[in-house]
Copies of this chain bind each other. A is one copy, B any other.
């Protein structure tokens, strides 16, 4: 049965609504403005802002005289009252960020992973997080937790990664549990794609009920969805596994038995292989490990940018293939707009943003009703780590209607 709600639930929810309104306002808000923004009564706003002031989450920051009557007191977020740590676990490199409550990066570290033994990797993660907090001189009681963005699929119930590409020996490692024990902090493990979408919501100035599809260009290609400001995670928190969607019926065969899947056509590795075949690297046939792929992907995009027609043709072909995936997903999910991002995004953004919107416009099922805008992420290359930190802030601070339901 569905659960009802009651007064204490309502109070907590309204407190989150007010904190969110203040956080999202760049200049701060007065109590009168909060009444207008949230629809709550003046009395409720006064009571709740008093509580937020007492907890040190907001501060009174100046008075504005605006016509006759009492001057208005501006309430502003105390960004450094709460923090979170975001970790992006990627095959070759682990990125760490310390975020304040506004989602701004306070500290950042990169660790290259030569070691593949999961226990040692998690140990390194814990030591790096310690160092990050010590360096910033932060009271751990003000750290809401650690978010880890990892490649999917995940076993969310156990907080484990199942089979991260290129991280051998990571079968069913209890990442959440072991890292929580090693750091003494609460840990959330989230798919990198979902984390990226949460980062996009948390740091953007878009409306609070923003809805978009996020297509993530990492070692693999993934998708995530934000609906009315909330990431859609799916039943097992594995939303957005798109690797075996067929985008090119003439494409190369895939291990799954089909051909032209996203996995063998749209990933950096697949694009680099096409570039090798097209002679972009002048007969250089070195191995396909993560670092070589990344270096070659960078060279490919630099050559395309410098006007090399072969390199450009490879990227335009990749853009067209990705556009088919974007069409499949927008047709199924029916979203307002599309955001492209992830660690490999910046290197292809010019070519992709030139080609993908037109293809989407021509093929969208709702093309006669509306155009679906396509844009690049506002977060940048660190979207995985920043997103992971934002997942922690979002989980602790964002109001959710579902929080109103009474417990069982």
Interface residues of A (CB under 8 A from B): 1-7, 10, 13-14, 17-18, 20-21, 24, 37-41, 44, 152-153, 155, 162-163, 208-209, 211, 223, 227, 229, 232-247, 249-251, 256, 258-260, 324, 327-329, 331-336, 363, 365-366, 368-370, 399, 401-402, 404-408
Contacts and interface: CB of A to CB of B under 8 A. Distances in A.
A325 B141 CA distance: 48
A383 to B, nearest CB: 20
A244 B334 contact: no
A228 to B, nearest CB: 8
Contacts of A235: 211, 334-336
A358 B365 CA distance: 31
Contacts of A208: 1-2
Given A40-B406, A244-B363, A369-B153, A14 B5 contact: yes
A233 B335 CA distance: 10
B223 A332 contact: yes
B209 A2 contact: yes
Given A40-B406, A236-B334, A329-B332, 4 more contacts: A3-B39, A4-B39, A4-B40, A234-B335
A404 B268 CA distance: 45
B334 A39 contact: no
Contacts of A401: 401-402, 404-405
Contacts of A238: 334, 365-366, 369
B332 A162 contact: no
What is the total number of copies of this protein in its complex? 2
A30 to B, nearest CB: 14
Nearest to A21: B1
Nearest to A212: B235
Contacts of A37: 1
Contact of A13 (B5, B245, B334, B370): B5
B404 A245 contact: no
A405 B21 CA distance: 14
B404 A333 contact: no
A282 B45 CA distance: 77
Contacts of A24: 1
Contacts of A331: 241-245
A18 B40 contact: no
Most buried by B among A227, A251, A365: A365
A153 B39 CA distance: 35
18 contacts: A1-B24, A2-B21, A3-B38, A4-B14, A5-B404, A152-B365, A223-B332, A237-B334, A239-B333, A241-B365, A245-B246, A249-B249, A249-B251, A249-B258, A249-B259, A328-B328, A401-B405, A404-B404
Nearest to A45: B4
A301 to B, nearest CB: 27
A37 to B, nearest CB: 4
Nearest to A9: B10
A336 B163 CA distance: 21
A38 to B, nearest CB: 4
